[in-house]
Structure 1
Amino acid sequence: MREPYARYLQLLGFDQTPHGVEGLRQLVRRHVIRVPFENISKLLLIRRERRGRPTTLNEYLDGLERHDLGGTCYTSNPFFAELLRELGYDADLLGCDMTRVNVHTAMRVRVDGSAYHVDVGYGGPFYEPLLLTDSPHEMRQGPYRYVLDRARDGRLAMNVFTGEERVHGYLVNEIPREREFFTSIILDSFRPAATFMTQLCVFRYFEDHAVQLQNNVAVHYRAGESGETRISSMKEIREIFENQLRLPRCPVEKAIKTLEQLTGQDFFAMGEGDLYV
């Protein structure tokens, strides 16, 4: 296998090449667990270079290997699609509509004549590739219910509910895209008022639980239950990263200082932010 994909596979914990449907299941699960959803890497880029730009695959892997970083949908899904293709899977990168067109990404993967929806860049509990012919699919995490089904216009839709209220989601566009298609959208995500320039987000999934950090509030999900911890100091946030998120090498303090400079606010006075904006 060519580099840097061999390195990518090794960082996901594989010493042999995965194949077929079972291989895809293992790849998706390990990616969701190994690679955090976070915007710290975006804030650190602004700190270093004073501007936004697309991340390269080698930078993405360096962040994962050396600093316990991951990424958002603009890195995790495109790079994972490339890895799947390198492994011989028929994988397309797709744009998805939220409040605007093509501001999210997802994947369509075909194996043995069956098509699957894959999304390792949403921050949701999508541990498995979702077989399209078996929809609707429903996944739960704390108060949130994630439903993959067809929308009225026939497009595939991921909807997030609390109770019966839809709070977020996306519609999948079926046109395959190259990673470069999203360059202008990525640059726009670095605007001063953009979601990931105005709050801190980290979602980490484990085999039997998950931890979600939004600004100074950490939420813990396990077995359908949830509980939160409010953080009031850098010492406490370091403890969260080391003991709960288990990302001890992540330079979160630098990201927080950058966020304070961008927003003009004290981080611990910002409130928990809004995941679904």
Structure 2
Amino acid sequence: MQALPGWSKSYLKQLGVEQRAPSPDFLHELCRSHLQVFPYENVSKLLYYHTYQKSNVPTPAEFVENAIRHDYGGTCYANNASFLALLRELGFSGYLVSLADDHAAILITGLLENGESLYVDAGAAAPFFHPVRFTSDPDYVSSFGAEAVQLAPDPLSSSRFRFRRMRNQELVSDSWHFSPGEPREISDFSAAIQRSFEPGATFLSMLRIHLYQLDRQRSLSLKNNSLWINQENGEEHKILLQTVEELEEAIVNEFCLPRLPIREAVRVLLSAGVDIFSPEE
């Protein structure tokens, strides 16, 4: 096995995974751990932009350091670009793919004997605990509780696949699509990344945190001041958080992310005219 740079060793330590040779089982272990350790969140994005005037994706080394210091994860660009960098250091081959110019996911190549690519995604707030064999098993559904995603062949294009998000077995979105034969690097997403930092962009005008806790058979999903606790058996419980103190308590006691600077994120949103505690219209 090849020697790893320091950030990769720290990354694996955060994941609680030991280095070993690339294999489908190892990739599965990495995917499963990533969704439980690194949250899908926009707190880091809010603070990057409003506090540090940054509008770029952190490097993998910065990504790991931010996780250690602040319990950060990120949205799709940060999570998946860093995860791909780690996978490459571990000896996997692969690249990013663009989903409708709104999302970046990972395709891993050369791992299976038949040459089939595997879809990996640590940045969609979706239950991709396994690498998905989307070409040979198009009926496979990645699911957890009421949430599910299927990577289905696009009926309008034989070279394209659709990201079909479902809830309680009903389709809620299939606007994302990707072409496996169009490899991308994070630099190819520069325009999309810049758009994501424009005033009024989705993740500059709301609070969003999602994390899986498989040892407790649940996932946690925060949208502004609404906390959803979703059980693996499909049961759901919504808690409306009324104050910053209640929000901080939920981040510490439920998400177990005590270093996440949630109060600062709320203050940043308020300065931009977004009060996450305002009643929904």
Q: TM-score, normalised by structure 1?
A: 0.90
Alignment RMSD, CA only?
Answer: 1.8
- State the Cα distance separating 1:142 from its structure 2 match: 4.5
The one-letter amino acid paired with 2:277 is F
**Matched residue, 2:267:** 257
| Maintained 8 Å contact 1:39/1:200 | yes
**Matched residue, 1:156:** 161
**Matched residue, 1:268:** 277
- State the Cα distance separating 1:252 from its structure 2 match: 0.5
Given candidates 117, 121, 124, the residue that maps to 1:122 is: 124
Pair 1:245 & 2:247 matched: no
**Matched residue, 1:275:** none
- State the Cα distance separating 1:270 from its structure 2 match: 5.8
1: CA distance, partners of 2:82 / 2:218: 25
**Matched residue, 2:227:** 218
- State the Cα distance separating 1:115 from its structure 2 match: 2.0
The one-letter amino acid paired with 2:187 is E
**Matched residue, 1:3:** 6
- State the Cα distance separating 1:169 from its structure 2 match: 4.8
Q: Secondary structure at the match of 1:211?
A: strand
Count of residues in Structure 1 that have an aligned counterpart in Structure 2: 267
2: CA distance, partners of 1:135 / 1:168: 15
* Most deviating of 2-11 and 40-49: 2-11
The one-letter amino acid paired with 1:121 is G
Pair 1:112 & 2:98 matched: no
Question: Stretches of 4+ moved more than 6 A in 1?
Answer: none
**Matched residue, 2:184:** 177
| Maintained 8 Å contact 1:215/1:271 | no
**Matched residue, 1:186:** 193
| Maintained 8 Å contact 1:72/1:122 | yes
**Matched residue, 1:37:** 40
- In structure 2, runs of 5+ residues without a counterpart are none
Pair 1:233 & 2:243 matched: yes
| Maintained 8 Å contact 2:60/2:81 | no
Listed as ranges, the matches of 1:139-150 within 5 Å are 139-150=142-153
* Most deviating of 171-180 and 119-128: 171-180
Given candidates 53, 69, 73, the residue that maps to 1:70 is: 73
| Maintained 8 Å contact 1:140/1:224 | no
Evaluate the alpha carbon distance shift between residue 131 and residue 143 of structure 1 in structure 2; reply closer, same or farther with a 3 A threshold: same
- State the Cα distance separating 1:184 from its structure 2 match: 1.9
| Maintained 8 Å contact 2:102/2:192 | yes
Evaluate the alpha carbon distance shift between residue 234 and residue 16 of structure 1 in structure 2; reply closer, same or farther with a 3 A threshold: same
2: CA distance, partners of 1:84 / 1:261: 38
1: CA distance, partners of 2:7 / 2:162: 33
The one-letter amino acid paired with 2:56 is R
Q: Secondary structure at the match of 2:117?
A: strand
Q: TM-score, normalised by structure 2?
A: 0.89
The one-letter amino acid paired with 1:134 is D
* Most deviating of 195-204 and 47-56: 47-56
- State the Cα distance separating 1:51 from its structure 2 match: 4.6
- State the Cα distance separating 1:65 from its structure 2 match: 1.0
1: CA distance, partners of 2:143 / 2:88: 30
Deviations 1:12-34 (A, max 9, x none): 11233353111111011111111
The one-letter amino acid paired with 2:94 is A
Deviations 1:208-240 (A, max 9, x none): 210000000000111111110000001110111
Q: Secondary structure at the match of 1:139?
A: strand
Deviations 1:193-220 (A, max 9, x none): 1100110000011112100000000001
The one-letter amino acid paired with 2:164 is N
Pair 1:196 & 2:203 matched: yes
- State the Cα distance separating 1:59 from its structure 2 match: 2.0
Deviations 1:45-78 (A, max 9, x none): 1232235223222221112111111001111111
